[in-house]
Amino acid sequence: MDLAYMAELPTQEFVERRAKLFEYLDENSVAVIFSATEQTRSKDTTYPFRQNSYFWYLTGFNEPDAALVLIRKKGKNQTALFLRPNDPEMEIWNGRRLGIEQAPNKLQIDCAFPIETLKEQLISLLADIGTLYHLQGERMQNDLLIGEILSQSVKLTDLRPHLDEMRLFKSTNEIRLMQQAGQISALGHIRAMREMRPNRFEYEIESEILHEFNRFGARFPSYNSIVAGGENACILHYTENDRPLQDGDLVLIDAGCEFSMYAGDITRTFPVNGKFSQPQREIYEIVLAAQKRALELLVVGNNIQQVNDEVVRIKVEGLIRLGILQGNVDDLIAHQAYREFYMHGLGHWLGLDVHDVGSYCNKTQNGDRNSKKRDRTLEVGMVLTVEPGLYISPNSNVPEQYKGIGVRIEDNIVITEYGNKNLTCAVPKEIDDIERLMVER
């Protein structure tokens, strides 16, 4: 598999995705996919614009206030984009717009219209249509518009299950972009290790990570970065990042960049002063052994559930050795005694969203995927995170030396015909390698 550098997807990839989606649509149907809108931050300022992932997946168009309409009628397929017209005055203030005239050629669509005409044209289209596809629940205003134009003779169908299935399997080009996202994310973590010092604040290290992302063309993180020193690491989604980093503590960093819309997602845990204490080392080695075993097992034909079961057993055996758990391994697993220290899953799909779409379950006999078990058989082209962890709360009834230690180790892998490929292996995770890097800083 060629993972050479690339900066964006070619237009043809979006064309092919739309063509594949058309094959799924009923005859005499219309599908409407809305863009994101700008979100107010305060008064007359907005957050940086981030396109809706479904809309982007089908268009590659990065402007707000737009809608893609796919029309399958009388044996013909037509693609229409509704978007903002050019407006010289507004473009002086807020930036360039693609405009109606340039959109068809630039995006390889059939036709383009002003977004203001969307409702009127949808009413006309639905006059002799049997099915309307829509991503229900994404935004109230979109649902209200669809509700206003929908007649009783038209069947409303959620497009997400099929789009989610398409998005779950990454193309070679998508994997190339995710390789870049993983590599840039890795550079951010390496910089954090090199710049770590006792008494620096968590937000200072966060700034080092974001600096590295920006240096390599990833302007934004793919989620709010976690820089959690000491017992803060036992808060799974800790994002305050406002405490000083203490000599003798571990720091857990969960951070990834977004590169060309695709997410990286890495976690590393390491000592603030560059040297693991013995209790820290003991907890870390359990998590590392669990992650290594998971990476061996996450291959075509296996599933996340069975691999997580193996990970749980490794952790329970390790926690018994340290006196944190007492009892029989099988009994402790059966009663989920480990949940106090490992309360999340092994990983999640990764792609345009950091918690990407796609079912984790195998189909049932009636074709549904409604099981809560993550028993879906892994296939070539799936991309997921692998992130076992252990979190020993300071309030836990455990030996004193382990209290307040939180460890998570996370990498991003793509399932291939040869096993899996680790997209984020550039960041050290062996204890000796981490300590060596931090000495050389």
Give 152 or 63, the one with higher predicted confidence.
63
The neighbouring-strand residues paired with 397 are: none
Catalytic residue (one of 2, 23, 44, 400): 44
pLDDT exceeds 90 at position 182: yes
Q: Label residue 432 by pLDDT band (50, 70, 90).
A: very high
Number of C-beta neighbours around residue 417 at 10 A:
10
**What pLDDT is recorded for position 141?**
94
pLDDT tens-place string over residues 348-392: 999 999 999 999 999 876 666 666 789 999 999 999 999 999 999
> How far is 108 from 113, CA to CA, in rounded Å?
14
Catalytic residue (one of 254, 258, 353, 356): 254
Q: Label residue 415 by pLDDT band (50, 70, 90).
A: very high
| Alpha helices per DSSP H over 169-219 | 172-195, 202-215
> How far is 144 from 162, CA to CA, in rounded Å?
23
**What pLDDT is recorded for position 1?**
37
pLDDT exceeds 80 at position 85: yes
> How far is 262 from 129, CA to CA, in rounded Å?
35
Share of residues in the chain with pLDDT > 90 (%): 93
Catalytic residue (one of 18, 348, 374, 376): 348
The answer to whether residue 391 is catalytic is yes
CB of 132 within 8 A of CB of 151?
Answer: no
The answer to whether residue 134 is catalytic is no
- Beta-strand ranges (E) seen in 100-154 are 111-114, 131-134
> How far is 201 from 73, CA to CA, in rounded Å?
60
pLDDT exceeds 60 at position 404: yes
**What pLDDT is recorded for position 370?**
60
The answer to whether residue 309 is catalytic is no
Catalytic residue (one of 215, 219, 281, 355): 355
pLDDT exceeds 60 at position 169: yes
Which whole number is the average pLDDT over 87-99? 95
**What pLDDT is recorded for position 3?**
44
CB of 174 within 8 A of CB of 6?
Answer: no
In what helix (H) or strand (E) does residue 220 lie, and over which residues does it extend? strand 220-221
The answer to whether residue 254 is catalytic is yes
Catalytic residue (one of 191, 387, 402, 411): 387
Task: Fill in the amino acid letter for 127.
Answer: A
Catalytic residue (one of 133, 360, 391, 402): 391
**What pLDDT is recorded for position 364?**
73
CA nearest 178: which of 409, 419, 383? 383
The answer to whether residue 387 is catalytic is yes
Share of residues in the chain with pLDDT > 70 (%): 97
The mean pLDDT of the chain is 95
The CA-to-CA distance between both ends of the chain, in Å, stands at 34
Domains of the chain, with CATH numbers? 4-159 (3.40.350.10), 169-439 (3.90.230.10)
The answer to whether residue 44 is catalytic is yes
pLDDT exceeds 80 at position 6: no
> How far is 142 from 123, CA to CA, in rounded Å?
14
pLDDT exceeds 70 at position 2: no
Catalytic residue (one of 2, 23, 89, 237): 237
**What pLDDT is recorded for position 4?**
52
Which whole number is the average pLDDT over 233-243? 97
Number of C-beta neighbours around residue 91 at 10 A:
13
> How far is 224 from 208, CA to CA, in rounded Å?
14
Catalytic residue (one of 335, 344, 436, 441): 344
Give 246 or 364, the one with higher predicted confidence.
246
3-class DSSP state for residue 321?
helix
